[in-house]
Amino acid sequence: MSARFLILLSLILTLFSCEKKKVELISPSIIPAPQSLQVNPGYFTINEATTVSNNDDFTASHDFLINYLEQVTGREWETKYSDNNAIILEYDAQISSKEGYSIISKDRNITIKASTDAGAFYGVQSLIQLIPLENYQSGVHIPAVTIKDQPGFAYRGMHLDVSRHMFDVDFIKKYIDAMAMLKMNNFHWHLTDDQGWRIEIKKYPRLQEVAAYRDSTLIGHYNDTPQQYDGKRYGGFYTQEEVREVIAFAKARHITVIPEIELPGHAQAAIAAYPELGCAGQKVNVATKWGVFENIYCPSEETFTFLENVLDEVVALFPSKYIHIGGDEAPKTQWKTSAVAQKVIQENGLKDEHELQSYFIQRIEKYLNSKGRQIIGWDEILEGGLAPNATVMSWRGTKGAVEAAKAGHDVIMTPTSHCYFDYYQSENDNEPLAIGGFLPLEKVYHFNPIPDELNEEESKFIKGVQGNVWTEYMTTADQVEYMAFPRMLAMSEVAWTQPAHKNYDNFINRLEYFHQRLDVLDINYANHLYEVEGKLNDQQQYELSTKTLGKEIRFTTDGSVPNSTSTLYDQPIPFTDDLTIKAGVFKDEKLLGKLFTQEFIFHKGVGATISINKEPHKSYAGSGAAGLINGIKGSDSRYGDSEWLGFWGEDIEIEIEFETEVEVNEIELRFYHAPGQWIYAPEKYYLKLETEKGIISDLITTPKENENLVISNYNSERFKGYEDLKFSKLRLVIPNYGTIPDSNQGAGNKAWTFIDEIIIR
């Protein structure tokens, strides 16, 4: 890939004409990055006489390009066969990829070649990104380039949950347009859940009258105590005509709309409308808060008739090969006591309720197969035996993906650790309320969709990736955009660009320019490009950096707010005592982003040797074991940052060995506690302090101090009789909480343990 493509700087070419005028060209900044791009001498100028030549009837691509050009130039565009002063769409049988294309831009014309309309469309999207964002009236100059490009993955998706909060058709179209710009080709439309049914089903009018509306909505976070509600009726649904409108809009952009109709769980809204569909035999209301609910579909013939009738209307609306049926988070509590469910288990020779869920899903799969469709489900559909033709969306990490791929099933990768855009994206305290977690742009960008456990043949079953936008905490379209952008741009490069052509620093430089395009499109993106990043090096010094070029960092250590005259950062800052660093990114004496603050606690564990008997989960490895005694606390509200270590279902033992014996007066432990995200502080742990006289061992219980953190202090009062002793080692034995109990989110799964700084004074 040309180096000039990878640098976002103005490329000025002086071209000698009779006026000897200078033409300023912008270096190509295409997202997602093409597989090959070469910048050549010269440029093409779009002027009043430029035409479009659609030599091979690439209809959708031609129409999209003409519409765009007419919008930005304010004139009508002519389509005629020409090779001079023209943008040419041309068929090329040599391009084997159905979504591949090439672009050759030179002084006489621009030629986009492809073997399909889809490939030509993606060529058009790249061309649009080559066109400057202004000065249309005076002629538009496009650098001479040669591009050869094709996608890395066949499935490139974005998801949007409209059940928790609903967004109008105009916004859905805007979302799809942004996807098309980024060469994404599957829109996963999450239409039904406990909190609302959002698609019109004519055979069942109570889905529109009852299931589409809830009486109230949770205010604040799920983990808040006490929970509060707004007391306002909320809801709505998309008519079938609106659904057709969205599908047609997406089709013109080569995007497939995949509907999700949740089953057997996340069905409380439907059961509120038709109580006979549940096992409890009682009326329930549409859910007013988030979470997992025990009201799931009863496996009765009446339920299957209902679902088949619903799916008949869904299939008639959506031409998608896939119908998403959910399959996740379905508590089996009611099935265990339901005579109907137990009868189905007995009559079909099923072992338990997990196999009953598999039976439920396989029955729906067979019905959809009979309609010429296939199912996609979340990775819980693996439980009890996978439906034979199902595609798995792996969201609970990568284990489900590995299991499915090894069994020969297609997989879409969408693990929470890298693909859930409802997680926080910055450690700034003023970020909008989110479900939790921490997923910065860089982590999204570095996601590798191919699990290490798969060989080359098994890897072929990984069909692509998807970013998910769950909207429990997104009440407006602006909030959706803020959470989705620019992480959607990073995900597009994960999905499209080959790893060998990816480079995060260069992506950031392209993104800085791309922000102007998002401004023009009126997309409310989150701009964290001008924030300071910090890390502790091996010499116990703190390094500051910022990703964009041409900026400077200024900082203070006296508690004052940095300004343009504060100390210029040019070397790592030593950390030998308690310290607070405040820093900012400046250009031309102006602070560009938000202030950065990092506090350091210089305690007795800093510099000691630490080991853990288990590796943290690779998605939540933090700064490794050394990060537990580096003097830096993790975020109080975001468990996925560089300081929190996550362990899934494992008991852990931590050993800290001091270089010389030390007095220990106090030990502070911090555990994250967020049951809504399957994270539980341990109910107990053991402390062992080693001395010359032996080991002091104590069982410690953990008091709960607030909704997110469990903080335990072990002080010298516990050391009576040992006040004069010094300690050479400290050991912690921390049992995992265990299996998440029924009626809780993630019930039946292993709990996570998250731990950060171990402060020793």
Give yes or no for a contact between 316 and 202, defined as CB atoms under 8 angstroms apart: no
Distance in angstroms (rounded) separating the CA atoms of residues 78 and 87: 11
DSSP single-letter state for residue 681 = -
Alpha-helix residue ranges (DSSP H) falling in 441-577: 441-445, 456-459, 477-484, 487-496, 504-520
Q: How many CB atoms lie within 10 A of CB 65?
A: 25
Residues 6+ apart with CB under 8 A from 316: none
**In whole angstroms, what separates CA 716 from the centre of its chain?**
45
The backbone torsions φ and ψ at residue 172, rounded to the nearest 5 degrees and listed phi first, read -60, -40
Residues 6+ apart with CB under 8 A from 325: 260, 261, 262, 263, 361, 364, 365, 368, 375, 376, 377, 381
Active site residue 266: yes
The three-class DSSP label of residue 699 is strand
Distance in angstroms (rounded) separating the CA atoms of residues 375 and 362: 10
Distance in angstroms (rounded) separating the CA atoms of residues 93 and 115: 5
* Catalytically annotated residue among 159, 266, 528, 603: 266
Distance in angstroms (rounded) separating the CA atoms of residues 25 and 13: 7
Strands (E), 602-683: 609-612, 645-648, 652-662, 666-672
Distance in angstroms (rounded) separating the CA atoms of residues 619 and 623: 12
Distance in angstroms (rounded) separating the CA atoms of residues 33 and 37: 9
Q: Which two tokens stand for residue 416?
A: 């929470």
**In whole angstroms, what separates CA 121 from the centre of its chain?**
26
Distance in angstroms (rounded) separating the CA atoms of residues 570 and 568: 6
DSSP codes, 518-535:
HHHTT------TT--EEE
Active site residue 329: yes
Distance in angstroms (rounded) separating the CA atoms of residues 93 and 591: 53
Distance in angstroms (rounded) separating the CA atoms of residues 307 and 298: 11
* Catalytically annotated residue among 329, 380, 472, 641: 329
Distance in angstroms (rounded) separating the CA atoms of residues 70 and 237: 34
Active site residue 422: no
Residue with tokens 């057997």, as numbered in its chain: 264
Q: Which two tokens stand for residue 114?
A: 């492809």
Give yes or no for a contact between 84 and 110, defined as CB atoms under 8 angstroms apart: no
The three-class DSSP label of residue 305 is helix
Alpha-helix residue ranges (DSSP H) falling in 328-376: 333-337, 339-347, 353-370
C-alpha angle 455/460/465, rounded to 5°? 110
* Catalytically annotated residue among 117, 161, 193, 365: 193
The three-class DSSP label of residue 197 is strand
**In whole angstroms, what separates CA 421 from the centre of its chain?**
4
Give yes or no for a contact between 186 and 217, defined as CB atoms under 8 angstroms apart: no
Burial of 339 (0-12, 13-18, 19+ CB in 10 A): exposed
Distance in angstroms (rounded) separating the CA atoms of residues 30 and 586: 27
Give yes or no for a contact between 622 and 757, defined as CB atoms under 8 angstroms apart: no
Strands (E), 395-440: 411-413, 423-424, 436-438
**In whole angstroms, what separates CA 296 from the centre of its chain?**
27
Distance in angstroms (rounded) separating the CA atoms of residues 250 and 227: 39
Closest CA to 268 of 282, 291, 284: 284
Give yes or no for a contact between 598 and 635, defined as CB atoms under 8 angstroms apart: no
C-alpha angle 343/348/354, rounded to 5°? 80
Which residues are catalytic, by number? 193, 266, 329
